[in-house]
Amino acid sequence: MSADRQRMYAGCDKIIEYMLYTLVFFIPTSKSVVEVFATLSIMIWFYKNGFKAWEWLLEKRKSFVPPGSVYGLLKIIIPMGVLVTLLVYSSVMISLAVISHHFDIDGDLFATGIFLPIVIFAIFLNVLFFIIALAVARSDHGFSLKASTISFMTISLITSAFTSQRLGISSEAFLFKTMEYLLIFLIIAEVINTPRRVFNFVSVFVIAAFFSGMDGIYQRLAGHDLFRKFSMFENMKITAAFKAPNDFGTYVATVLPLPLALIAFSVMDWRKKAGLFVLSLLFAACLVLTFARGAWLGFFAGFLFLLVFTGRRRFIATLVILAVLAALTVLVAPPAIKAQLGSLSQLGSDTSSMDRLLIWKTGWRMFLDRPVFGHGLNTFMSIFERYKPADYVWIVYAHNCFLQMAAETGITGLLIFLWFCASVLGRAISNFFAEPDKFMKAAAIGAAACIIATLTNSFVDTNLYSLPLAVLFWSLCGLAAARVQPE
C-alpha cells in the first residue's frame, strides 16, 4: 500500500472520528443532527472501504489460479451463481420498490426512463453489499461476530425482498434503518480503535448524559425542558428532550452503567471520580422521575451484570447498599413514586400492562401465522390491523422488540439477532479480560452493561425501533466490539 493511500485512509478515519463524536453527543437532543452525521460518516466509510475493496480485487486477480478440474470449477461457479442470483434479484426488487415509492412508474417497466434507473440503482446496491461483506470478512471481529453480522444483513435482505407482504415498506426500512444502524456499528467498531479514541468517545457519552440529565431536572423545576420546550408528561413524568418519559428513561438506564463502570474500576483521579459520582446521582434521580418501570428493570439488569465483574466484595457490598436504599425509598419516597412501585405488584391488572398484554397476544398471533420468516421487515404496524381485536382502535408497535422482530422476520431473524447480541457481549467480555488498561476494561464491560440494560428494557418497550435509542444501542455495540490497538 502506498504512503499516499495510507494517509488517505487515516484522513478518512480522522474525519469519521469527529463525526461520530458529534453523532453521539446529539443522540438525546436532535434526530436531524444524528441523521446528518450518520449519513456523512457512512458515505466517507464507503469511500475508504471502496478503495480497499478495489485493492483487494486487484490482488486476487494477480494471484488467481484457475482450477485444474471441472469439479474444482463447479465448486466456484455454483456458490457464486447462487449468491449472485440472490443479490441481483433482491437488489432489483428493492430498487423497484424504492423508486416506485418516489416516482410514478405505472407505464412499461422496460421503458428507458424507468428501466435504466432501476438497473443503475440495483448495481449500486450490489457494490455496497460487496463492500460491506468484504469489510466484515477482513475485520478482526472473530468468527462468531463476523458470521452473525453477515447473517443479520442477509436475513434482513431476505425478509425485505423475498418474504415481505409490504415490499415498499420493507425495502425502505432495510436501506434507511436496518443498514444504517448496522453500518453505525461497523464504523464505530472499526474507527474507535485506539485508547485516545475510546477515551474521547466515552467522554462524549458522559458529557452528553450530563446535559441531558440537567435538562431533565430543569424540566422538573420549570415545567418544560431547556432544548425543545417539551412539557412534562401528565405534569409529572420528565422527558427531557425526548417525546416520551419511557424514551428518556431508556436513555438514562442505558447510559448510566457507563459512568458507574468508570467509578467501579477507579480509572480516574478523585476529582473526576467525584464528578462521575455526581453525574450518576443526577441520572439516578432522572431515572426515578421518568416513572418508567421498564427502564428501572433494564438498569437493574445492566447494573447487576456490571457488578459481577467488580469482584465478590464489591458485589455483596453494593447489593446491601441497594437493599438499604430500596427500603428507604419505600419508606420516605413521595406518594407518586410509591404508587409506581406499588403498581409492579399489580402487573396484568393495571391499564398500561393490560394494553400491552392485548398487543402482545395480537403480535403472537401474527408470529404464529408466519413463524419462519415473518411478515416482512418493519411491517408490524401495517399488518397489525388485520390481527387486532375489532374494538381496539389503535395501530401501535408491539412494545416488545423481540416479539415484533419475530412477527416481522420470523424465528430465524430473531435467533440471528440474539446470536449477534451474544457475539457482541462475548467480544466485550473478551476485551475486558484481554485489556491491561483499567479504562479500556471499564469501557468494554460498561458498554456491555449498557447493552444488557437496553435489551432487558426491550421486552416491554420499543427501544430498537426508535431512531435515537436504536442509534444509541448500535453505537454501544460498536464500542463493546472495538478491538483497541496502540495509537
Long-range contact pairs involving 37-45 (C-beta distance under 8 Å, separation at least 24): 38/180, 38/184, 38/471, 39/180, 41/16, 41/184, 41/187, 42/180, 42/183, 42/184, 42/187, 44/12, 44/15, 44/16, 44/19, 45/12, 45/16, 45/183, 45/186, 45/187, 45/190
pLDDT given at position 319: 65
Query: Greater confidence, 389 or 286?
Result: 286
Which one is predicted more confidently, 346 or 486?
A: 486
Interhelix angle 179-191/467-481, rounded to 10 degrees, is 30
Query: How far is residue 460's CA from residue 352's CA, in Å, rounded to a whole number?
Result: 11
**pLDDT score, position 357:** 87
Average pLDDT over residues 286-313: 88
Q: What is the average per-residue pLDDT within 454-476?
A: 95
Lookup result for grid cell 447480541 = 421
Comparing 21-30, 91-100, 163-172, 356-365, the range with the smallest average pLDDT is 91-100
CA distance 127 to 369: 35
Round the average pLDDT of the chain to a whole number and report it: 87
Confidence of residue 464 (pLDDT cuts 50, 70, 90): very high
- How confident is the model over 424-447, as pLDDT tens digits? 999 999 999 988 889 999 999 999
Identify which of 38-42, 64-68, 174-178 has the greatest average pLDDT: 38-42
Q: How confident is residue 337, by pLDDT bands cut at 50, 70 and 90? A: low
Name the least confident of 67-71, 113-117, 316-320. 316-320
pLDDT at 1: 62
pLDDT at site 145: 96
Among the listed residues 323, 16, 349, 380, the one whose alpha carbon sits nearest the alpha carbon of residue 177: 380
**Contact criterion met (CB below 8 Å) for 19 and 33:** no
As a whole number of angstroms, the distance between CA 412 and CA 160 comes to: 14
The residues, ordered by sequence, that sit 6+ positions from 253 with a Cβ below 8 Å of its Cβ are 287, 292, 295, 296, 298, 299, 302, 453, 454, 457
User: 152 and 420 in contact (C-beta within 8 Å)?
Assistant: yes
Euclidean distance between CA atoms 360 and 186, whole angstroms = 32
111 pLDDT more than 80:
no
Query: b or e along 380-419 (b: 16 or more beta carbons within 10 Å of the residue's beta carbon)?
Result: bebbbeebbeeeeeeebbbbbbbbbbbbbbbebbbebbeb
pLDDT score recorded for residue 266 = 79
pLDDT at 317: 62
**pLDDT reported for residue 269:** 81
| Cα–Cα distance, 264 to 147 (Å, whole number) | 33
Lowest average pLDDT, out of 1-5, 271-275, 312-316, 421-425, goes to 312-316
Q: Which residue has the higher pLDDT, 60 or 231?
A: 231
* pLDDT confidence tier of residue 112, bands split at 50, 70 and 90: low
pLDDT in tens, 375-417: 999 999 999 988 988 888 788 889 999 999 999 999 999 999 9
The region of weakest confidence among 51-60, 146-155, 182-191 is: 51-60
* Burial (CB count within 10 angstroms: exposed 0-12, middle 13-18, buried 19+), residue 139: middle
Are 195 and 439 contacting, i.e. CB atoms less than 8 angstroms apart? Answer: yes
- pLDDT for 336 equals 61
> What pLDDT, on the 0 to 100 scale, is given for residue 335?
64
pLDDT, residue 394, reads 81
Q: Contact, 259 vs 276, CB < 8 A?
A: yes
**pLDDT in the model for residue 94:** 82
Q: What is the pLDDT of residue 92?
A: 80
User: Does residue 101 carry a pLDDT above 90?
Assistant: no
Q: Which three cell numbers stand for residue 298?
A: 433494564
pLDDT at 338: 54
pLDDT for the residue 105: 60
Question: Which amino acid makes up residue 180?
Answer: E
Give the model's pLDDT for residue 267: 79
Is 244 a residue whose pLDDT tops 80? yes
124-150, pLDDT tens digit by residue?
Answer: 888 899 999 999 999 988 899 999 999
Give the pLDDT score at 113.
Answer: 62
In the chain, the percentage of residues whose pLDDT exceeds 90 is 57
Residues 452, 16: contact at Cβ < 8 Å?
no
Cα–Cα distance for residue pair 359/62, rounded to 1 Å: 58
Q: Say what the pTM is.
A: 0.91
Split at pLDDT 50, 70, 90, the class of 44 is very high
pLDDT, one tens digit per residue, over 341-358 is 555 555 555 666 778 888
Mean pLDDT over 64-86 rounds to: 73
pLDDT at 456 over 90: yes
